Amino acid sequence: MAKLIYSAIASLDGYVADEDGNFDWAAPDEEVHTFINDLDRPLGTYLYGRRMYETMVGWETDHTLADQSPLMRDFAQIWQAANKIVYSGTLEAVSTARTRIEREFDPEAVRRMKALAGRDLIVGGPDLAAQAFKAGLVDECHLFVAPVVVGGGNRSLPDDVCVKLELLDERRFGSGMVYLYYRTRRTR
Binding site for ligand NAP (CB under 6 A): 9, 16-17, 21, 23, 26, 49-52, 55, 87-91, 103-105, 125-128, 131, 154
25-61: b or e for each residue (b if 16 or more CB lie within 10 Å)? bbebeeebbebbbebbeebebbbbbbbbbeebbbbbe
Cα–Cα–Cα angle for 136, 18, 35, rounded to 5 degrees: 65
What minimum distance in Å lies between the beta carbon of 101 and ligand NAP?
9
Residue (156 or 184) nearer to ligand NAP, CB: 156
Closer residue to ligand NAP (CB): 3 or 50? 50
Q: How far is the CB of 10 from ligand NAP (least distance, A)?
A: 6
The distance of closest approach from Cβ of residue 118 to ligand NAP in the complex, given in angstroms and rounded to an integer, is 25
The smaller minimum CB distance to ligand NAP, of residues 151 and 164, is found at 151
How far apart are the C-alpha atoms of 48 and 16, rounded to whole Å? 15
